[in-house]
Amino acid sequence: MKKSRSGCSSPSCSRKTATLLLVTLIVLMVSCSSALYMPTAGQQTESASLEQMLEGRKLYVKKCGSCHALILPEKHTKPEWERYLNEMQQKASIDNTEKEQILKYLTRGN
């Protein structure tokens, strides 16, 4: 009798494989997004409230991650981020308020 070569032909086995893939995907997604710091109340500054920084983070993830990988906030200085945001504003179709909020998040309110 010929043996099946694929080790995973039963329905329960492929279900297990699918579950394993899904779990791996979720773990990857969670570990990627957690690299971006989450603003806390203690990080508020005179020029940036917690709400503004949280909104900025949300906008950054939503508006800036569709074309390229998100760059970590600490990778650039404030003048660099200002320049990049001006360059990217049209591509991301964000208004000036949204741009300011993203900048506050990226520069940790400084």
Say how far apart CA 102 and CA 85 lie, in whole Å: 8
Q: Could you say whether residue 36 binds ligand HEC (CB under 6 A)?
A: no
Q: Quick one: which of 39, 53, 85, 107 contacts ligand HEC (CB under 6 A)?
A: 85
Measure the CA angle with vertex 44, ends 39 and 50; round to 5°.
Answer: 55
Nearer to ligand HEC, 4 or 90 (CB): 90
Q: Could you say whether residue 94 binds ligand HEC (CB under 6 A)?
A: yes
> Segment contacting ligand HEC (CB under 6 A): 12-20, 23-31, 43-51, 82-90?
82-90
Q: Could you say whether residue 31 binds ligand HEC (CB under 6 A)?
A: no
b/e code 3-29 from CB counts within 10 Å (16+ = b): eeeeeeeeeeeeeeeeeeeeeeeeeee
Structure tokens at 5: 């070569």
The contact set with ligand HEC (CB under 6 A) reads: 63-64, 66-68, 71, 84-85, 88, 91-92, 94, 102
